[in-house]
Amino acid sequence: MGARPLHVVVFSTLFPSSAQPHAGLFIRERMFRVARHLPLSVVAPVPWFPLQSLIRLWRPGFRPTVPRRETQAGIEVLHCRFPSFPGFFKSLDGVLLALGSLPTLWRLKRAGRLDVLDAHFGYPDGHAATLLGRWLRVPVTITLRGTEVRHAADPALAPRLRRALFGADRIFTVSASLRELALKLGVAPDRVRVVGNGVDTTRFSPVPRVEARAALGLPSDAPVLISVGGLTERKGFHRVIELLPELRRRFPGLMYLIVGGASAEGDWRARLERQVRDLGLTDTVRFLGVIEPDELKHPLSAADVFVLATRNEGWANVFLEAMACGVPVVTTDVGGNREVVCQAALGAVVPFGEPEALREALADALGQPWDRETLVAYARDNEWSRRVAELVEEFEAFGAAGRIARQSAQAEGTVHG
């Protein structure tokens, strides 16, 4: 009889659910592809405290009720609860998350469905995972995705992040810049591996521009910018909007499409709409709301330039998605952005916090022709297949090591018996 296949459990507090279908899509995109090669389950704990239903009376979207169990694409997703008090005791989130998740993970282990615990984000998820790994005696991997930059600078959270990284058996980072952060925190280089995100070019591909613009009611000859992401301060939609009056003078008829909605980081839509009104840009900026991934290629293909004036990123999948639709990218030099937009033929990367540099980069991008085939070819070179193969290789190595350890323990027990 062959060895039982390794079972991976994805562990993340940011994962899509029926209540929040767009939360953590980038984790599901990555790990459900791994599930095509290895058995996989998801434990996606949700924060809870006794009075949170009262907060929903004036904040209806606050911590929506999530079912305890869901099935997504044939994969079980379990939503256990853990104590979390809004705005308080954030330094305890890792421990509380671990304690709240322990019964669920213990049941999975007893059922033979927990061989590797795969956590996403260093804190609190990674911190909790290393505690759980020690308690349940299973190897732990942590994927760093960008929030770790902020946590590493927080005196209260930095020690917990460092403890998590030291306690993990393997650390994946979605960019080289995050690998450098892990090394600066003292992690040994041979324990950190960069495995970037990819793009699904069957989902993201160019749509004829005339067709894409007609569907959105856009003029065929208008210059069009587009941004996609959660409507939060970090993503920087307001930083683009403030540049539009000058850009519109240079590019008459300019349109700016904003795709996205509220996220776990907040909802700036009302603030952005007010900024648009105050600047007299209601005929320039269009809020398209949240668009499902299968439909996103249409507004992307309608644009001339994709822009994201973000404060911090790990590896922005949306850059590759825009390129797969033949659209160049202008973004800020933070996180892994320069690793994605790594050639002049793909777009431009400008210093964060320099609006003049961003404005001129957008003007240059709008004013020059782009080789759309080069953009699409680059995206195709970054499809998911290679990334998934690297992850499967790493997970299977854990499985082989675990089998050797179990066989050694059994042999030792037989000798002593």
Identify the residue with better confidence: 407 or 43.
Answer: 43
DSSP state of 64: -
Mark whether 120 and 27 lie in a shared domain. yes
- Burial pattern 249-272, b for ≥16 Cβ within 10 A else e, equals eebeebbbbbbbbbbeeeebbeeb
Q: Is the peptide bond before 124 cis (omega within 30 degrees of 0)?
A: yes
Residue 114 lies in a domain: yes
Question: Where are the alpha helices (H) located in 16-82, listed in sequence order?
Answer: 25-34, 52-55
Residue 203 lies in a domain: no
CA distances to 60, 116, 211 from 373, in Å? 45, 40, 19
Mark whether 270 and 144 lie in a shared domain. no
Per-residue pLDDT band at 1 (split at 50, 70, 90):
very low
Maximal C-alpha separation, the chain:
86
What total number of domains does the chain contain?
A: 2
Is the pLDDT reported for residue 73 higher than 50? yes
Residue 406 lies in a domain: yes
User: In this predicted structure, what is the pLDDT of residue 168?
Assistant: 96
DSSP state of 125: I
In angstroms, the CA 168 to CA 185 distance is 13
User: In this predicted structure, what is the pLDDT of residue 416?
Assistant: 46
In angstroms, the CA 43 to CA 36 distance is 18
Q: Which domain, by its residues, includes 219? A: 209-380
pLDDT tens, 40-58? 999 999 988 776 565 555 5
pLDDT tens, 353-381? 999 999 999 999 999 999 999 999 999 99
Mark whether 356 and 232 lie in a shared domain. yes
Query: Lowest-pLDDT range, 10-14, 39-43, 311-315, 403-407?
Result: 403-407
Residue 299 lies in a domain: yes
The pLDDT of 28-37, averaged and rounded, is: 94
Residue 184 lies in a domain: yes
In angstroms, the CA 206 to CA 110 distance is 48
Using alpha carbons, select from 210, 217, 197 the residue that is nearest to residue 335: 197
User: In this predicted structure, what is the pLDDT of residue 40?
Assistant: 96
Contact 34, 395 (CB under 8 A): yes
Mark whether 295 and 247 lie in a shared domain. yes
Contact 330, 347 (CB under 8 A): yes
In angstroms, the CA 9 to CA 31 distance is 10
Hey, what's the torsion of the CAs at 358, 359, 363, 369, to 10 degrees?
10
Per-residue pLDDT band at 409 (split at 50, 70, 90):
very low
Mark whether 40 and 166 lie in a shared domain. yes
Q: Please give the model's pTM, rounded to 2 decimal places.
A: 0.84
Contact 83, 63 (CB under 8 A): no
The CATH number of residue 194's host domain is 3.40.50.2000
User: In this predicted structure, what is the pLDDT of residue 401?
Assistant: 63
In angstroms, the CA 404 to CA 406 distance is 5
Mark whether 188 and 227 lie in a shared domain. no
Highest mean pLDDT among 71-80, 383-392, 399-408: 71-80
In angstroms, the CA 194 to CA 10 distance is 18
Is the pLDDT reported for residue 265 higher than 90? no
Mark whether 331 and 243 lie in a shared domain. yes
Residue 1 lies in a domain: no
pLDDT tens, 268-301? 999 999 999 999 999 999 999 999 999 999 999 9
Mark whether 374 and 402 lie in a shared domain. no
Mark whether 242 and 359 lie in a shared domain. yes
Per-residue pLDDT band at 84 (split at 50, 70, 90):
confident
Residue 128 lies in a domain: yes
Residue 204 lies in a domain: no
User: In this predicted structure, what is the pLDDT of residue 335?
Assistant: 87
Is the pLDDT reported for residue 402 higher than 60? no
Is the pLDDT reported for residue 91 higher than 90? no
User: In this predicted structure, what is the pLDDT of residue 5?
Assistant: 80
Mark whether 172 and 297 lie in a shared domain. no
- Burial pattern 282-316, b for ≥16 Cβ within 10 A else e, equals eebbbbbeebeeeebbbbbbbbbbbbbbbbbbbbb
Mark whether 47 and 187 lie in a shared domain. yes
User: In this predicted structure, what is the pLDDT of residue 132?
Assistant: 97
Is the pLDDT reported for residue 411 higher than 70? no
Mark whether 99 and 168 lie in a shared domain. yes
Tokens 């793909």 found at = 346
The pLDDT of 128-157, averaged and rounded, is: 93
Contact 156, 91 (CB under 8 A): yes
User: In this predicted structure, what is the pLDDT of residue 315?
Assistant: 83
In total, the chain counts a number of residues equal to 417
User: In this predicted structure, what is the pLDDT of residue 159?
Assistant: 93
User: In this predicted structure, what is the pLDDT of residue 48?
Assistant: 80
User: In this predicted structure, what is the pLDDT of residue 66?
Assistant: 84
